[in-house]
Structure 1
């Protein structure tokens, strides 16, 4: 194995919107905002790079005017929930020291990924990245995995992909990429040890 490919949300950075929203809103409002924002077509369009944050704010506040201020606040500030999952980030440093090539493959908004790159130095360890908003493709579409393999001349059998969503792992496997399904909170170190990667 030569190449370790990481998803970002819930693998490298914490992404738990319910927990984040509960800091600011009661249970009822939190539930509404989870549906209105994080289950919206606009959220998918952000991942696809079809719209930017201000477009999403405009669209969602028009649809849900009674939540105008709440939607605006959440969409302008949601990246603050994305804090490093430190145990996993520590493993990134370890894998880099061992000589593995490291890559990112993630569904992520254009503005948000630039914010993450500026906020967290560990992203400099990565040799390359394929981000959904830049490609106008989202996992588990096989084409986004093919972009990564082709762009960085990676052999699938020499690569392993770590993601919290099983559908994304299964799509990688159809292309011959090895996978680690890592549900939120699971221990990445033990999974890497099982495969003798560390």
Structure 2
């Protein structure tokens, strides 16, 4: 029996255009990111470097970038947050049938954009029993330690948890720990169909 539902944020609640940041960088004559910059991206996502250091790293590597340009390119991935999904999680929270946890790989610049552009973000956040962002807990998916952190902190049994994420690498990592998973495909599935798509679990 599922007692805890763990949700990703991007492409589960908020719509993303994942190639958008690189498309914007290409417009600024940046054809590819060197390995050290990809490493910096991961460090930033884990909150191991500040937004200032992250932006400086890009400006130091690419003369075509300014602070404004890197922030605009970085945030191009974020599209919109359909309000019906907020209503879905709000209803789920009100029913109190499951412990609800959000577990997202994200970063300060993206969350600042969400706070500015999504007027119901704080209400959305309050729907969850726990709200974990990778840059705040210094852990990121698909590393197993982020799932172990959630399980151990809340004394959860893996077989009583369902994890929802659009990235197969992330759901595979959770599955290895015995967690039930739904690898949601955002082009043809929607989180609001949780119970019909996964009715065998409920």
TM-score by length of 2: 0.78
How many residues align structurally?
A: 192
1:72-83, aligned counterparts within 5 Å?
72-74=70-72, 78=75, 81=78, 83=80
Asked if the contact 1:166–1:181 (Cα under 8 Å) also holds between the matched residues in 2, the reply is yes
Report the Cα offset of residue 9 of structure 1: 1.0
Does residue 68 in structure 1 map to residue 70 in structure 2? no
The answer as to whether partners of 1:61 and 1:71 remain within 8 angstroms in 2 is no
Give the stretch that moved more between structures: 182-191 or 142-151.
182-191
* SS of match in other structure, 2:43: helix
- Contact 1:52–1:111 under 8 Å retained in 2: no
RMSD between superposed Cα atoms in Å = 3.1
Q: Give the whole-Å Cα distance in 2 for the aligned partners of 1:80 and 1:17.
A: 5
Structure 2 distance, partners of 1:104, 1:150, is 15
Contact 1:20 1:81 in 2 (8 A): no
**Residue matched to 1:105:** 103
CA distance in 2, matches of 1:70, 1:171: 36
Could you give the per-residue CA deviations for residues 16-65 of structure 1, whole angstroms, max 9, x where no partner exists? 1545787xx6x9507848858xx733221111111122111111111001
Q: Relative to 1, partners in 2 of residues 1:81 and 1:190: Cα closer, same or farther, differing over 3 Å?
A: closer
Q: Any stretches of 5+ residues in structure 2 without a counterpart?
A: none
User: Would the alpha carbon gap of residues 176 and 32 (structure 1) be closer, same or farther in structure 2, given more than 3 Å must change?
Assistant: same
Which of 44, 47, 50 lines up with 1:46 in the alignment?
Answer: 44
TM-score, normalised via structure 1 length: 0.80
| Alignment CA distance shift 1:126-1:187 (3 Å) | same
In structure 1, what is the Cα distance between the partners aligned to 2:32 and 2:184?
A: 23
Residue 89 of structure 1 aligns with which residue? 86
